[in-house]
Amino acid sequence: MTRYEYKVIDTGKQIGEDLNELGALGWKVVGVTTKKQLLIAPPAAVILMRDVESVRVRDSKPARTAELVGALQG
């Protein structure tokens, strides 16, 4: 059975760079939330998912990964 890990990140000035780096680590965008749940509002957060078993294989920069994940968590 495949297991997945999920993260929610706030959108900000460096969202493009952050998404590119997280994508290289196996994260995939699976959804977005909008401000005040309006259909035409800009995204407020991005929902990411990755396969837990593939984490060890793709993670070649543990220090940068810890920095990104730490920023995601708060």
Q: Quick one: average pLDDT of 3-19?
A: 88
Which tokens belong to 45?
């957060």
Side chain identity, residue 3: R
pLDDT for the residue 40: 77
pLDDT band at 29; cut points 50, 70, 90: very high
The pLDDT, as a whole number, for residue 63 is 64
Q: Taking the model in full, what pTM does it have?
A: 0.59
- Sorted by sequence, the CB contacts under 8 Å of residue 59 that are 6+ apart come out as 25, 26, 65
Q: Bigger pLDDT: 19 or 64?
A: 19
- How confident is the model over 31-59, as pLDDT tens digits? 988 877 666 777 888 999 998 875 555 55
